[in-house]
Amino acid sequence: MDNYILAIESSCDDTSASIIHNGKIINNIIASQDVHKIYGGVVPELASRAHQSNIVPVVDLVVADAKIDKSMLSAIAFTRGPGLLGSLLVGTSFAKGMAMALNIPLISINHMEAHVLAHFIDDPKPEFPFLCLTVSGGHTQIVLVNDYLDMEVIGQTVDDAVGEAFDKAAKLLGLPYPGGPMIDKYAKQGNQDAYQFPDTNVPGLNYSFSGIKTAILYFLRDEVAKDKHFIEKNMHDICASIQAKLIDMLFDKLYKASRETGICNIAIAGGVSANSQLRKRLQEDAKSRNWKTFIPDFQYCTDNAGMIAMAAHFKFLAKQFEELTVAPDPRLKI
């Protein structure tokens, strides 16, 4: 059956829309919000207001770019959660209104499941089962993926996400928001063995990143007390050392998960998967550990509607539709 699905993503500070046709992404348009940079982080109220301004032109643009009429749409998909409540409300309300007006099905999508399913947008695609390390500013999870709509979180952070740890470290270093990409940039010219940071002992496959943030804070405090120019003199080495430690922490548990499950199909997803060293490490492990590894195209790593559309495609085939009474869920889980 020929079908077009419009997907909307508004979980945080990017307003995005995408059209998927019979399982093939046609476009993926994102309107970012620069206003948050001056505050050093996302301001929820400003984010929701910007979504209200952006959502109509972004949706109109993807429909026009797909060269279709809205009457040709088979369903409307939207991010139900997790995310910022105000931001989610904008996308949810718009999707519900449009689905009602066009009298077509409504599909709700879990943002974290969509990150995993971004691997099915382009080739090569992973075979089931596979493990997906899903890393972002708000989440750090190891997901056992048995099928398109059958996933289980087998490990996750017990406190802060790794993306938040990157951004917090960058803020301590005086780098602008978003700080994670800045650490990645400076680390490329640094010595990752210059400084050592402690491990955290968390049982099983779970993570903890609160302790490493505290360790970085005290390390910088003590070094700056000795030399007020310590950070600027050693920025590259500091960034490389911090980044290496955070990535080591991620992979230590991923190695353990692969051993315990016997699964060697390994994927990464989420905003932090855009980190160049993380991607390089996965490619190196593909050779040394005989893994089959999978990384989405860069545009599908950060928040985007293309991944929402891909997830919606599988839910559309399974006829998993929502009632118009559905509400956003900021703490939605896999």
Q: Tell me which of 1 and 288 has the higher pLDDT.
A: 288
**Tell me, what's the pLDDT at 324?**
95
* CB-based contact 130:100 (threshold 8 Å): no
pLDDT per residue as tens digits for the range 95-149 = 999 999 999 999 999 999 999 999 999 999 999 999 999 998 889 999 999 999 9
Are 47 and 18 part of one and the same domain? Answer: yes
pLDDT per residue as tens digits for the range 240-263 = 999 999 999 999 999 999 999 999
* CB-based contact 303:15 (threshold 8 Å): no
Judge whether 334 lies within some domain: no
Which residue in this structure is represented by tokens 């089962």? 129
Are 131 and 112 part of one and the same domain? Answer: no
Are 151 and 274 part of one and the same domain? Answer: yes
Q: How confident is the model at residue 39 (pLDDT cuts 50, 70, 90)?
A: low
**Tell me, what's the pLDDT at 42?**
79
How would you label 198-223 residue by residue, b for 16+ Cβ within 10 Å and e otherwise? eebebeebbbbbebbbebbeebbeeb
Are 64 and 103 part of one and the same domain? Answer: yes
Judge whether 280 lies within some domain: yes
DSSP 38: G
**Tell me, what's the pLDDT at 198?**
92
Identify the helix (H) or strand (E) that includes residue 266.
Answer: strand 265-269
Are 256 and 307 part of one and the same domain? Answer: no
Judge whether 18 lies within some domain: yes
331: tokens are 């703490």
How would you label 7-39 residue by residue, b for 16+ Cβ within 10 Å and e otherwise? bbbbbbbbbbbbbbbeeebbbbbbbebeebeee
Sign of CA dihedral 332, 122, 320, 318: negative
Are 158 and 245 part of one and the same domain? Answer: yes
**Tell me, what's the pLDDT at 40?**
72
- The number of residues in the chain equals 334
Judge whether 277 lies within some domain: yes
Judge whether 186 lies within some domain: yes
Are 268 and 153 part of one and the same domain? Answer: yes
Query: Is 309 a residue whose pLDDT tops 80?
Result: yes
The candidate with the shortest Cα–Cα distance to 234, out of 173, 172, 178, is: 173
Judge whether 326 lies within some domain: no
Judge whether 25 lies within some domain: yes
Are 291 and 221 part of one and the same domain? Answer: yes
Q: Rounded to the nearest 5°, which phi and psi values hold at 26?
A: -90, -45
Structural domains counted in the chain: 2
pLDDT per residue as tens digits for the range 295-308 = 999 999 999 999 99
Q: How confident is the model at residue 177 (pLDDT cuts 50, 70, 90)?
A: confident
**Tell me, what's the pLDDT at 170?**
96
Judge whether 104 lies within some domain: yes
Are 14 and 45 part of one and the same domain? Answer: yes
Residues contacting 70, CB < 8 A, separation 6+: 63, 98, 102
Query: Is 35 a residue whose pLDDT tops 70?
Result: no
**Tell me, what's the pLDDT at 201?**
84
Are 82 and 221 part of one and the same domain? Answer: no
Q: How confident is the model at residue 231 (pLDDT cuts 50, 70, 90)?
A: very high
CA angle 296, 305, 334 (to 5 degrees): 75
Are 45 and 182 part of one and the same domain? Answer: no
CA–CA separation, 37 vs 60, rounded Å?
27
CA–CA separation, 189 vs 174, rounded Å?
18
Mean pLDDT of 155-174: 95
**Tell me, what's the pLDDT at 41?**
76
CA–CA separation, 199 vs 201, rounded Å?
7
CA angle 208, 197, 191 (to 5 degrees): 125
For the domain that residue 107 is a member of, what is the CATH number?
A: 3.30.420.40
Are 85 and 193 part of one and the same domain? Answer: no
Structural domain containing residue 208:
125-295
Q: Rounded to the nearest 5°, which phi and psi values hold at 285?
A: -70, -25
Identify the helix (H) or strand (E) that includes residue 215.
Answer: helix 210-226
